[in-house]
A and B are shown apart, each in its own frame.
Chain A
Amino acid sequence: MIFRELYSAYYNTVAAIISSIIDGEHSEKELQKIVADRAFGESVLVILPSLKTEKWQLVHPDMTTSLEHKPTMPLTTLQKQWLKAISLDPRVKLFGVKFPDLEEAEPLFTSADYHVCDKYGDGDPFEDEEYIRHFRIILEAIRKGSQIKFEMVNRKGNMMFVRCRPVRLEYSEKDDKFRVITAGCRAVSTVNLANIRFCAHYTGERQSVGEEKAVIYDTVTVKIRDERNAMERFMLHFAHFEKQAEKLDRKNYFVKIKYAHDDESEMVIRILSFGPMVEVTGSESFKKLIIEKLKEQLNYGLK
């Protein structure tokens, strides 16, 4: 059972408050800060008042406690089962960590229980030793804020030597690939981890100056004609974007989606995949891209 109070934000917050009190913190202002950081928007009206008024008899009105130990809780069976399932995932080898003894816990699921039906077939080689070595170097550099150096072949087929500061790893479930997002390198801001060769920590004195390149966003506006369940399919398909929708009438909807400009080609074909149920109404430049594709298709004809 997933939905239980043992996992609740309130229990975690109260645990943090009690720990803080045991550490000698009795200021309400500081304890309220814990609530604001860990719980929900209106929790400040509930958690400390419930403790102070003896509704929850764990803290006395003077903000002391009879509890002697900082609250901790062992992992539940469900948590162990989930961890066991994760320990069986081939991607876990990337991290090079030793899993704890999970006793007799049976995995919550195995690879036979689920199937990712539409991920691309050329995902990263997660079990390749060189790939794993690069992954770990990059992860360590991200944690330390340090630099790496590597070689890669760019889109034009030329060899490049790169020195940069990796800031995060971006994973795409669809592509089944990791991309390294970098800072301090003008030529390369994002690189597929699988394209990296001879990656190593950079120990020289030259500093990578600069932040991660800012993402440039565009918007596309579409009109959805709700036939063949198009509206639901479209809204779910584009659920992971920042968007705003408006119902025009019983059958028609307007949706405005914000997307990264670098992903424009992908957006064009994703919208095309909805066929005539989705019409691009703006921007004009985006609409033009759709029209160009349709023009080329029309000229091919279909036999």
Chain B
Amino acid sequence: MMSSYSELIKNFEKIRAYMRDFYVYGFKSRDDFKSKSARSYDDERRRIESWLGDNMSFVRTPEGKNVFISIDSRTIRHNPLYKAWKAKSFTDGDITLHFIIFDILHDPAVKRTVSELLAEIDEKYLSDFESPMMFDESTVRKKLREYCEAGIIVAEKEGRKAYYRRADSTDISDLNDVLHYFSEVAPCGVIGSFILDKEESDTDSFTFKHHYITCAIDSGVLAALFTAMREKRAVTISNMSRLKDLPRLNRIVPLRVFISVQSGRQHLLAYLPEYNSFHSYRVDYLSNVKLEEPTPRFDELRAELDRMQGKMWGVSVKRNKWGVDHLEHVEFTVKVKDNEEYIVGRLEREKRVGTVEKLDDNTYRFSADVYDSSEMIPWIRTFICRIVKMNFSNRSVGNRFKKDLEVMYRMYNVEEVSE
């Protein structure tokens, strides 16, 4: 029996979770994907292997074979995960019709009605085949409508007749470097990669450090959210919480995407009309974005977010239901040796919404008032070895920091040395 396996897929959402698990985690065996069928796991793994080739590795463990994607993104010039977006399935009729339509409409000056196109397709392009495909008028019309929506075909009325022609070409011959660079660093960079695919390959002069390629698989959600923001619309969206098994459907007003270039995460800051509150969502947990009606409050809500941003260290917002801010004060003092000006430089460039104050030639104090001081903890830990004093208005956060330090001392058998 012939296998129905194909390296192309119809539904991107299905492969998204696999890509993420193979790339981000890499320790999961076939059994860990127990929520999916074994057949599904095998097919998806085979597809990803087919797309990513050398970037896939595996190890054998007592639990079985673990497949993972391992890529040092500093050594690559193009995000390999974009390939998943280039694996959309299609029918035999789709591909045949696509190339014939664009061969007939090879220049923007050439225009045809549906019936003229249909006749030409049959007579000129298909009649020489042994069993020529038969396209009816509604199929061709549907394809043309789809292409008009995509912006690649233009429909024009002349009297009572509708003519179709290809859209005008766009000269992008100057943009080679721009495309190579921005397809890696701009949001939804995969769209730049689609454009590059159509161009003859040229010199690629860029590589990237601290380059999180995972977000590529969230580009579909991100593009839909950008569309909603541009049109000032609310959306209904599925949110998969890491604490719950089933996704939750939310109606929200998307306001801004927060991109972290240090943690590899992207969050959506949105307004929840139902609770009159602002909330952040992990973009990689979101799916099925459905655009709803425009909201007249969009500009007002975004202005409110602008104001709140001055108190956000990361993506957390703490306000009560009447919109009153709950702020936490954080300050810590570091000792800087004579040859360690770079530490002062670090404080200055990494301070975000905080301020840095020089207390004396070797002592500096950082302070900030933020919604959620626990978000700052990982950063403050990077100054371990020079923190001489700290003060958290949220005492549980301060105490946890100190307790964690104690655990680390014990973990590495570090004991105080008396001078």
Complex Cα distance, B73 from A173, in Å, reads 12
> Is A158's beta carbon under 8 Å from chain B?
no
> CB-nearest residue of chain B relative to A300?
B388
> Is A202's beta carbon under 8 Å from chain B?
no
Contacts of B145 in A (CB 8 A): none
Would A97 and B205 be within 8 Å (CB), given that A76-B150, A80-B151, A297-B386 are in contact?
no
Choose, from B130-138, B156-164, B321-329, the stretch at the interface.
B130-138
Complex Cα distance, B408 from A44, in Å, reads 54
Contacts of A42 in B (CB 8 A): 7, 50
> Is A3's beta carbon under 8 Å from chain B?
yes
| Residues of B187-206 contacting chain A, CB below 8 A | 187-188, 190-192, 194-195, 197-198, 203, 205-206
What interface size band does chain A fall in?
35 or more
Contact, CB under 8 Å: B349 / A241: no
> Is B118's beta carbon under 8 Å from chain A?
no
Complex Cα distance, B210 from A270, in Å, reads 12
> CB-nearest residue of chain A relative to B219?
A2
| Residues of A266-303 contacting chain B, CB below 8 A | 269-270, 272-276, 279, 287, 290-303
Contact, CB under 8 Å: A236 / B263: yes
B14 to A: closest C-beta gap in Å? 11
> CB-nearest residue of chain B relative to A288?
B412
Would A233 and B263 be within 8 Å (CB), given that A113-B229, A170-B208 are in contact?
yes
A20 to B: closest C-beta gap in Å? 13
Contacts of B415 in A (CB 8 A): 298
> Is A14's beta carbon under 8 Å from chain B?
yes
> CB-nearest residue of chain B relative to A236?
B264
Complex Cα distance, B381 from A106, in Å, reads 43
Complex Cα distance, B349 from A10, in Å, reads 46
Contact, CB under 8 Å: A229 / B27: no
Contact, CB under 8 Å: A297 / B152: no
> Is A27's beta carbon under 8 Å from chain B?
no
Would A117 and B230 be within 8 Å (CB), given that A10-B8, A170-B206, A293-B384 are in contact?
no
Contact, CB under 8 Å: A120 / B350: yes
Contacts of B151 in A (CB 8 A): 74-78, 80
Complex Cα distance, B27 from A258, in Å, reads 16
> Is B416's beta carbon under 8 Å from chain A?
yes
Would A117 and B348 be within 8 Å (CB), given that A60-B129, A68-B106, A76-B150 are in contact?
no
Residue of A57, A121, A241 near B351 (CB, 8 A) is A121
Contact, CB under 8 Å: B130 / A54: yes
> CB-nearest residue of chain B relative to A259?
B72
Contact, CB under 8 Å: B74 / A260: yes
Choose, from A146-154, A193-201, A203-211, A245-253, the stretch at the interface.
A245-253
> CB-nearest residue of chain B relative to A178?
B206
A176 to B: closest C-beta gap in Å? 8
Residue of B24, B177, B388 near A139 (CB, 8 A) is B177
> Is B112's beta carbon under 8 Å from chain A?
no
Residue of B92, B170, B181, B385 near A294 (CB, 8 A) is B385
Residue of B53, B175, B335 near A41 (CB, 8 A) is B53
Would A294 and B99 be within 8 Å (CB), given that A2-B223, A97-B174, A171-B185 are in contact?
no
Contact, CB under 8 Å: B85 / A246: no
B384 to A: closest C-beta gap in Å? 5
Complex Cα distance, B389 from A147, in Å, reads 51
Contact, CB under 8 Å: A229 / B206: no
Grouping DSSP codes into helix (H, G, I), strand (E, B) and loop, the A interface class, with mixed when no group exceeds half, is mixed
> Is B378's beta carbon under 8 Å from chain A?
yes
| Residues of B48-70 contacting chain A, CB below 8 A | 49-51, 53, 57, 59, 61, 63, 66, 68, 70
Contacts of B419 in A (CB 8 A): 299
| Residues of A1-37 contacting chain B, CB below 8 A | 1-12, 14-15, 18
A95-129 Cβ-contact flags toward B at 8 Å (1 or 0): 10111111000111100111111111110000000
Contact, CB under 8 Å: B335 / A109: no
Contact, CB under 8 Å: A2 / B171: no
> Is A130's beta carbon under 8 Å from chain B?
no
Contact, CB under 8 Å: A298 / B416: yes
Would A74 and B169 be within 8 Å (CB), given that A56-B96, A293-B384 are in contact?
yes
A271 to B: closest C-beta gap in Å? 10
Contacts of B28 in A (CB 8 A): 247
Contact, CB under 8 Å: B264 / A239: yes
Complex Cα distance, B191 from A78, in Å, reads 8
> Is B272's beta carbon under 8 Å from chain A?
no
Ranked nearest first, the 4 interchain pairs of A and B with the lowest CB-CB distance are A77-B151, A293-B385, A276-B407, A82-B191
- Enumerate chain B interface residues (CB-CB to A < 8 A): 6-8, 12, 23-28, 49-51, 53, 57, 59, 61, 63, 66, 68, 70-74, 83, 85-90, 92, 94-96, 98-100, 102-103, 106, 124-126, 128-133, 150-152, 166-172, 174-175, 177-178, 181-182, 185-188, 190-192, 194-195, 197-198, 203, 205-214, 219-220, 223, 226-227, 229-230, 242, 256-265, 302, 309, 312, 314-315, 335, 345, 348-352, 377-379, 381-382, 384-390, 402, 404-405, 407-409, 411-412, 414-417, 419
Q: Give me 16 A-to-B residue pairs in the complex whose CB atoms sit less than 8 angstroms apart, sorted by A's number.
A: A2-B190, A8-B88, A12-B86, A40-B50, A41-B49, A41-B50, A114-B258, A117-B312, A122-B348, A139-B205, A181-B207, A244-B57, A246-B66, A272-B381, A274-B381, A298-B415
- Enumerate chain A interface residues (CB-CB to B < 8 A): 1-12, 14-15, 18, 40-43, 46, 50, 54-58, 60, 66-69, 71-80, 82-83, 85-86, 89, 91-92, 95, 97-102, 106-109, 112-122, 139, 142-143, 168-175, 179, 181, 229, 232-233, 235-237, 239-247, 253, 258, 260, 269-270, 272-276, 279, 287, 290-303
